[in-house]
Amino acid sequence: MDPSYPTYLTYQTNARILLMSVGVIIVAAGRGARLGSAVPKQLLDLGGRTILQRSIDAFADHPRVSELVVVLPAELVAAGPTLVGRTSRACRFVAGGERRQDSVRLGLEALPASIDLILVHDAARPFAAAALIDRVIAATEKSGAAVPAMAARDTVKRVDPGRHVVTSTLPREEIWLAQTPQGFRRSVLAAAVAIGDQGVEGTDEAMLAERAGHGVSVVLGEELNVKITTPDDLAAARTRLGSAPRVGTGYDLHRLVAGRALVLAGVALPFDRGPLGHSDGDVLCHALIDAILGAAGKGDIGRHFPNTDPQWRDAPGLDLLARALAIVRGAGWSVSSVDATVVLEQPKLAPHLDDMRGRLAAVLGVTIDCVSVKAKTNEGVDAVGRGEAIAAHAVAVVSPGAGR
């Protein structure tokens, strides 16, 4: 331990100073349903690391912490070491339970009996600072249980949930908003989870400790120790870390053959040939799909809609674009703007470009001025120039946030 680092002394034996050993339970077994993500929110990117990794970093780098337990959805436990990466502290992975308190109990059971003081932390709070962890440890060593919290600033109303009318106004000075990490001596946390096993429901461990008859101290929390729950929370967190918009590019080309319809962005064009392909061959949508997937780091069209899968046979390009957009939004990104160029000798596309832009804008959830579609010829050069093929190039910009 760094001798310059502040420590909190708990008791002495024969003049030898001893410290409580500290373990941490990172609760990461939720699904993040309120975020609307296709993957658990704790696995979303946050400035080059996942939310889970950033939450773990705060404790793995703390000199008082000796053990970590990460509670994950059962299907992710085996992949835990890969999802988290290397840590400077021992890290165990266990499957969570149906309720938060079940997950905490399972995490407690995984901690060695030698751990005296336990911090319980939400994986969705990636910004816990070392000074906050210090305060919680110090208060827990002194009182047995401690929770960081922020005093309410706004007037607090009690509301009838059925009628949505105010039933009373609560004294603001008595209202504090709890955060994590919450700290407990092992015996206190054991009592808290035990009462939870008896049917008592708690929204956090401090509440269960209260119900078990233990006093809980309050220490000052931090404004920046936010919990990521909604798409706006994620966007704000990414902005805080300087997560800039991302750019992706896409390209598609198909041979033109008789007997196929020529469709671009859902607009059927009058022509005697169309693109040969497994789906409808809409090169404009396909190029845009690659662009938005690439910008979000989610692969390409072949990965998600392979031409070996019969379910995508003759699939409309706009439908595939909507599915790709759902993947991008599930990863916490929204499309800001797109720009595409279709390269084709015949027929002329100019009369149809605004129709294409409008259809693309409707699917992408942006205004039409955020969609650009241009038409070019290849001046008689190569297969496209000879009228044997059609191609499209696309660029997409995605920004933090799940969009609408």
End of a domain among 164, 194, 229?
Answer: 229
Judged against a pLDDT cut of 70, whether residue 34 lies above it is answered with no
State which H helix or E strand residue 101 sits in.
helix 100-110
198/299 same-domain check: no
Give the per-residue pLDDT at 26: 97
The pLDDT of residue 401: 64
Angle (CA) 152-156-159 rounded to 5° is: 145
Q: What is the mean pLDDT of residues 369-375?
A: 95
> In which domain, by residue range, is 38 found?
11-229
For residue 83, the one-letter residue type is L
CB 338 within 8 A of CB 360: yes
Task: Write out the E strands in 140-299.
Answer: 145-151, 156-160, 165-170, 176-178, 182-185, 217-220, 246-258, 262-264, 267-269, 273-275
Is residue 166 situated within a structural domain? yes
Strand-pair category, 22-27 with 11-13: unpaired
* 104: CATH: 3.90.550.10
Alpha-carbon distance of 141 to 133, in angstroms, equals: 12
The tokens for 277 are 């392909």
Q: Are residues 259 and 150 in the same domain?
A: no
**Predicted confidence (pLDDT) per residue in 116-152, tens digit:** 999 999 999 999 999 999 999 999 999 999 999 999 9
Cα dihedral sign, 361-366-368-369: negative
Quick check: is 234 in a domain?
Answer: no
Token digits of residue 75: 């299907």
Interval 195-211 mean pLDDT: 89
Could you tell me the pLDDT band of residue 36, with boundaries at 50, 70 and 90?
Answer: low
User: Is the same domain home to 93 and 210?
Assistant: yes
Query: Between the ranges 70-74, 230-234, 328-332, where is the mean pLDDT highest?
Result: 70-74
> Are residues 137 and 285 both part of a single domain?
no
Query: What pLDDT score was predicted for residue 9?
Result: 40
Structure tokens belonging to residue 286: 């396909």
pLDDT of residue 83: 92
5 lies in some domain: no
Which of 78-87, 130-139, 236-245, 321-330 shows the lowest mean pLDDT across its residues? 236-245
Q: Return the structure tokens found at 8.
A: 């909190």
* Separation of alpha carbons 396 and 400, rounded Å: 14
The last residue of one of the domains, among 169, 201, 229, is: 229
Q: Tell me, yes or no, whether 120 lies in a domain.
A: yes
pLDDT at 295: 94
Q: Which of 178, 183, 88 is nearest to 134 (CA)?
A: 183
Residue with the larger pLDDT of the pair 382 and 37: 382
Tokens of 194: 């035990």
Statement to judge: residues 225 and 272 lie in one domain: no
Pair of tokens at residue 113: 């009996």
Boundary residue ending a domain (196, 229, 262): 229
Average pLDDT of the chain to the nearest whole number: 89
Could you tell me if 274 and 147 lie in one domain?
no
Gap between the Cα atoms of 189 and 210, Å rounded = 11
CATH number for position 310: 3.30.1330.50
CB 180 within 8 A of CB 150: no
Q: What is the mean pLDDT of residues 33-54?
A: 81
How far apart, in whole angstroms, are the C-alpha atoms of residue 134 and residue 193? 24
What domain count does the chain have? 2
| Tokens 């000075």, located at residue | 173
Q: In this structure, are residues 347 and 274 in contact, taking their beta carbons and an 8 Å threshold? A: no
pLDDT at 284 over 60: yes
Q: Is 113 in the same domain as 147?
A: yes
Lowest mean pLDDT among 48-57, 74-83, 186-195, 233-242: 233-242
Q: What is the mean predicted confidence (pLDDT) over 89-112?
A: 93
Per-residue pLDDT at 11: 44
Query: Backbone phi, then psi, for 111, in 5-degree steps?
Result: -80, 140
Whether residue 8 has pLDDT greater than 90 = no
- pLDDT of residue 10 exceeding 60: no
Assign 326 to helix, strand or coil.
helix
Local confidence band at 330 (pLDDT 50, 70, 90 cut-offs): confident
- 238 belongs to a structural domain: no
- Name residues whose C-beta falls within 8 Å of residue 65's C-beta, 6 or more positions apart in sequence: 22, 23, 24, 59, 89, 119, 133
112 lies in the same domain as 252:
no
Mean pLDDT of 270-276: 90
Asked if the structure places residue 19 within a domain, the reply is: yes
3-state secondary structure of 364: helix
pLDDT of 35 higher than 80: no
User: For residues 17 and 34, what is the distance between their CA atoms, to the nearest angstrom?
Assistant: 47
Same structural domain, 123 and 196: yes
Question: Would residue 49 count as lying in a domain?
Answer: yes
Higher model confidence: residue 321 or residue 12? 321
Same domain, 192 and 279: no
Residues 114, 153: one domain? Answer: yes
Residue closest to 178 by CA, chosen among 122, 240, 97: 122
φ, ψ for residue 268, nearest 5 deg:
-80, 125
β-pair partners for 17: 12
For residue 378, is it within any domain?
yes
**Is the model's pLDDT at 14 over the cut of 50?**
no
pTM above 0.85, yes or no: no
pLDDT grade, residue 21 (50/70/90)? very high
Q: Which residues contact 130 (CB under 8 A, 6 or more apart)?
A: 58, 61, 62
Q: Is residue 371 a contact partner of residue 332, using CB atoms and an 8 Å limit? A: no
Asked if 127 and 28 sit in the same domain, the reply is yes
